[in-house]
Amino acid sequence: MRDFSHDHRWLSINTATVRRSHGVDLPLPRIIDACARRGIRAISPWRDQVAAAGLDTVSKLVKAHELELSGYCRGGMFPAADAPGLAAARDDNRRAVDEACELRAACLVLVVGGLPGALAGRPAHKDIAGARAQVRDGIAELLEYARPRRMPLAIEPLHPMYAADRACVNTLEQALDLCEELDPARDPAGPPALGVAVDVYHVWWDPKLQAQIGRAGRRRLLAFHVCDWLTPTTDLLNDRGMMGDGVIDIPRIRGWVEAQGYAGYSEVEIFSTGNWWRRGHDEVLDTCIARHRSAV
Amino acid sequence: MRDFSHDHRWLSINTATVRRSHGVDLPLPRIIDACARRGIRAISPWRDQVAAAGLDTVSKLVKAHELELSGYCRGGMFPAADAPGLAAARDDNRRAVDEACELRAACLVLVVGGLPGALAGRPAHKDIAGARAQVRDGIAELLEYARPRRMPLAIEPLHPMYAADRACVNTLEQALDLCEELDPARDPAGPPALGVAVDVYHVWWDPKLQAQIGRAGRRRLLAFHVCDWLTPTTDLLNDRGMMGDGVIDIPRIRGWVEAQGYAGYSEVEIFSTGNWWRRGHDEVLDTCIARHRSAV
């Protein structure tokens, strides 16, 4: 297991973490600049932030600062209530792959979606098995587009509390079942086409976590995300904690992941309306660096 | 699968559902009276409500109204930070078994507990595997006390969002692993000593739910609880929905449970600070009856 206590060479900042500074939206170019000034070597930007700044602008900034992208957030949201909805999701996901390629991201993270309409509070139906079938079909189709472009797809199992509205893939076991079905490892030495993003916030509770990380192996472990689970948690989406402030034994989980050969970034992704998004982004980034050393 | 559309013979009211009426605490004797007046045949009371009314009083009321108890809420909370804490949990759980026997409950429901201190916002450690070991040991010890008293223990897997502070048994698969380890079914025809309580709120998201219900079989299925998952859900604990108001396909899950031979009550358990607890208990109970017929 790598020693993170002396530097932040393997820290990546998911740009949602400093999406707001003092409660105000912070543009992606300023986030990139703030990361580069601190010697942070990698980021993982969100599509809406990239779109707001312009893909070309972001691409040039990333190259100028020699930043890596530990991932690109995000594709997915496959289920739909009708054929036009499915086609729109397909087209949007292809654009996400193209953008990820332009930015040379390590992978495109997939938040697969839940029941159609549920995110807007109007679920079209209650057939979660049906939604899961649409997810499987959607990933299979996107894989055909992403594979020749050499853009790995990383299925991110989301915490079960998001099953209805954000992602109906809710355990690492379920994500790996999809990987094995859709991308059977014919060539274990070749580049991965389909794998998983392991976010400790989503999976820390799982009694089968260690076993499933072992099952994933190096080939399927495409990204590793960190933050912390607070007690109490006051909001289902936007009350994530800074590493060290909650109950997740992050070093233990990182140890399991690295035991499989994972040697990539540890990406900080914190959504925090009530705390971190209210603070200044300089303080947040400095805290991420400190906690990366002490609590990851 | 039984037809619930014409009556409410198999409706049970978990008394937390009407714990408050118009926002004010409602004593258990009044809850019992309101249920009996409606021809509701079963309840599942909470220990704090029983204690407030007095065990003898409640026992007499239950007998006078010929009510059944579909369960007794609750034992558990096994993990502790030290030996005195473990002993206190053991003693309290034995009292819970005694009370359940006095009230002739069908089972004692176990909410097993999480990280010691986490419920109070002061987790003593981050070792969830250690907490799970304490849960296993605690159930094993309680089983020795409950078995000769013929009080079945029902492990209730709680939604993973409660893993830190309420229960570190979070899937039906995990609960059944415990059942098989601690109560191997030497005599399949004998009365069950250890089984599970399946609450749709906690397990509806699980991609392995149908398979694990099949694994449980009739012998391990000791209780079936219903409510609904709202989109959005605004509070992790107290924003449960009335059956039919959310995204859970309750009849489908009930079908799986009954396909195993389960023929007991369908127990309504709703915690709802912002909605149902603000309404009058008469309206809430009448709605439970209506939705039991139309949405369960």
Q: Contact, A71 vs A79, CB < 8 A?
A: no
pLDDT of B189 > 80? The answer is no
pLDDT above 80: residue B291? yes
Name the minimum distance, in Å, from the CA of A289 to any CA of chain B. 22
How many C-beta atoms surround the C-beta of residue A82 within 10 A? 10
What pLDDT band is residue B157 in, cutting at 50, 70 and 90?
Answer: very high
Is B257's pLDDT higher than 90?
yes
Quick check: A292 and A11 in contact, CB under 8 A?
A: yes
Smallest Cβ–Cβ distance between B160 and the set A205, A231, A232 belongs to: A205
Residues in contact with A213: Cβ distance below 8 Å, sequence separation at least 6, in sequence order: A172, A198, A221, A253, A256, A257, A260
- Residue A189 is predicted with a pLDDT of 72
| pLDDT surpasses 90 at B185 | no
Chain A residues with CB inside 8 Å of B247's CB? 115, 118, 123, 126, 128, 164
Residue B186, pLDDT score? 65
- Angle (nearest 5°) at CA B34 between B248 and B240: 25
What pLDDT digit, counting tens, does each position of B56-94 carry? Answer: 999 999 999 999 999 999 999 999 999 999 999 999 999
Task: Give B165's contacts in chain A (Cβ within 8 Å).
Answer: 231-232
pLDDT (tens digit, 9 = 90+) per residue, A137-171? 999 999 999 999 999 999 999 999 999 999 999 99
Q: What is the pLDDT of residue A258?
A: 98
Q: Encode pLDDT of A16-67 as tens digits.
A: 999 999 999 999 999 999 999 999 999 999 999 999 999 999 999 999 999 9
Cβ <8 Å between A161 and B236: yes
Q: What is the DSSP letter of A240?
A: P
Does the N-terminal peptide bond of residue A74 adopt cis geometry, omega within 30 degrees of 0? yes
**pLDDT at residue A192 tops 90:** no
Which letter does DSSP use for residue A15 in this model? G
Q: Does the beta-carbon distance from A165 to B232 stay under 8 Å?
A: yes
Half-sphere exposure of B177 (CA within 13 A, CB side): 13
pLDDT score for A186: 66
Domains located in chain B, CATH noted? 11-295 (3.20.20.150)
Q: What is the rounded CA–CA span in Å between residue A29 and residue A14?
A: 14
CA A53, A59, A65, A71: dihedral to nearest 10 degrees? 90
CA-nearest residue to B161 within chain A is: A161
Taking 90 as the threshold, does the pLDDT of residue B235 lie above it? yes
Task: Report DSSP letters for A19-61, one per residue.
Answer: SEETTEE--HHHHHHHHHHTT--EEE-BHHHHHHH-HHHHHHH
Residue in chain B lying closest to A210 (CA)? B129
